[in-house]
Structure 1
Amino acid sequence: MRRLLFWLLLFALPSTQAAEELRLTNGEWAPYLGAQLPHHGIASRIVAEAFALEGIEVRWEFHPWARSLLLAERGDRHGSAVWLSSPHRKETFFVSDPILDSTYYLFHRKDRPLHWESIEDLAGLRLGATTGYDYGEPFQRAEAQQSLQIRRLGSDLLGFRQLLAGRLDAFPMDKVVGFDLLHEQFSSAERARLSFHPRPLRSDSLHLLLSRRIPQNADYMLRFNAGLARLRESGKVSQYLLEAQRPLSLGR
């Protein structure tokens, strides 16, 4: 009887087994990523909820982008979100299925219309770009060959300010990120002075990276992709991405 009571009490006790936890690095790129944003941003929410569906908890750390990538690459953290995929990164990381798409456009002032079909058409224009950002192979090659006049700046915010001030003719930005920044940092009158050319400068998918230096990450990536597929099938990924978008009219 005592033995039976012992086993009944044992199974009645709540489990003390700790949940699986991953430490992921992150950076500031509103509305997708941000330490002070709800759910740490839309992309962070997608990553965390996809893992949660597989019983894994995410603990986010926010650092400058270069440090975030280095910590993950060295295996000091499990991984980092969200990044472009490349052959080099596939050697260092397990790369997830696409989480979201990022499309860059050239913003310009409405009183200075922009017309271009190819990178060569941008020659002679004063172009801005943010330090450390990759704007696609044609743009990067033209910059390296100095066939374009490109001024690298410390932030996207500074790029928009110089664009409005007339010190730049065009500035490339992810459209969703650009609209969010304009709504957060600029007046409706300032937004009304800007537009963007409909031809994309670059369009790519963004991914979760998990370090290959941590053997368990191979399994974690399989589980993440499974959770992401389930989250996408539920309609929540589309819902979250839609919630991230500001009105398309810059003047509002």
Structure 2
Amino acid sequence: MARAWLLAILLFCSTVQAAPAVRYCDYPVYPPISWSDGTHVRGLAPRVVEAVFARLGLGLETVVLGNWKRCLMDAAQGRVDVVLAYRTPERENDLVFAEVPVLREEVAVFYNRRRPLQVERLEDLRRYRGGLLFGESYGEAFDREVARAGNFEWVSDSQQNFGKLVRGRIDFIPYERRTGRLYIEHLAGGSDIAELPITLAVDHLRLAVSRRSPLAARMAEIDRELQRLADSGEIERWLAQSEAAYRDMIAQPEPRP
């Protein structure tokens, strides 16, 4: 009998260990939402995702790819289970979005003070050269304007994009207002970067599951856990902690040889 019990326990442990983890794809260039300390992905997004699936009894594997578009493509093909993204009609073909948002965000226009812009509405940006990251979307109206105007240069990295703005190679960057402000605080030449008072779009960052993932059938549970985190104030606390942690990391002096 003891041998039978031992065998059952070993089989149970083997089954638990073999259970696949949730594959979460992140492109950590959006502090305080997600960023890298050189070793780990940190920020509000990975913390929320980990908390939600821990409550569902699932582990988490974080996947970092070369750009944000790759994350979306892998989610569409089912190679990863989860991303955090804005909801658009095109993305809904491949992703199921949570109804409870993680965060409300405003999209601002960042520009170089040395090259002022005359912009009062979205269409006015056609006169200028903009920069975007591969895969970025800021709402249906913005995406239509980008496709119509054709005045954007696409890159993989925020540092490259803001560097081009500092050097005058592009005229503006559409970017989340909170993230942009935090990013330019310690950017070389960041004192030349300002933001226009207009808001291009207001959207909500949402947890999204690949339609090819088994997790797509558990969206009600996912929404329940997201609502719990929002109601408890955890999301706001984690956001503030991530901002502070990012500032601390950037402010650290370079290690001496």
Shorter-normalised TM range: 0.7 to 0.9
Counterpart residue number, 1:92: 94
What aligned pairs does 1:33-112 form with structure 2 within 5 A after superposition? 33-34=34-35, 36=38, 40-64=42-66, 65-77=68-80, 79-96=81-98, 97-112=100-115
* Matched position secondary structure for 1:18: helix
| TM superposition shift of 1:236 | 1.0
- Note if contact 2:26-2:62 (Cα within 8 Å) is conserved in structure 1: yes
Structure 1 unaligned blocks of 5 or more: none
* TM-score normalised by the chain length of structure 2: 0.75
- Among 232, 242, 253, which residue is 1:244 paired with? 242
In structure 2, distance between residues paired with 1:86 and 1:139: 11
Query: Cα RMSD over matched residues?
Result: 3.2
In structure 2, distance between residues paired with 1:123 and 1:219: 42
* TM-score normalised by the chain length of structure 1: 0.77
What fraction of aligned residue pairs are identical, expressed as a percent? 25
- Say if 1:132 and 1:242 are closer, same or farther in 2 by CA, change over 3 A: same
- The structure number with the bigger radius of gyration is 1
In structure 2, distance between residues paired with 1:145 and 1:198: 24
In structure 1, distance between residues paired with 2:209 and 2:229: 19
- Say if 1:212 and 1:193 are closer, same or farther in 2 by CA, change over 3 A: closer
In structure 2, distance between residues paired with 1:123 and 1:210: 34
Structure 2 unaligned blocks of 5 or more: 252-257
Counterpart residue number, 1:163: 165
Give the paired residue count.
Answer: 235
- Note if contact 1:115-1:197 (Cα within 8 Å) is conserved in structure 2: no
- Say if 1:82 and 1:204 are closer, same or farther in 2 by CA, change over 3 A: same
In structure 2, distance between residues paired with 1:115 and 1:244: 34
- Say if 1:39 and 1:233 are closer, same or farther in 2 by CA, change over 3 A: farther
| TM superposition shift of 1:221 | 2.4
- Say if 1:126 and 1:95 are closer, same or farther in 2 by CA, change over 3 A: closer
* Matched position secondary structure for 2:159: helix
The amino acid across from 1:197 in the alignment is: L
Counterpart residue number, 1:117: 120
In structure 2, distance between residues paired with 1:130 and 1:39: 19
- Say if 1:66 and 1:170 are closer, same or farther in 2 by CA, change over 3 A: closer
Counterpart residue number, 2:198: 199
In structure 2, distance between residues paired with 1:135 and 1:89: 12
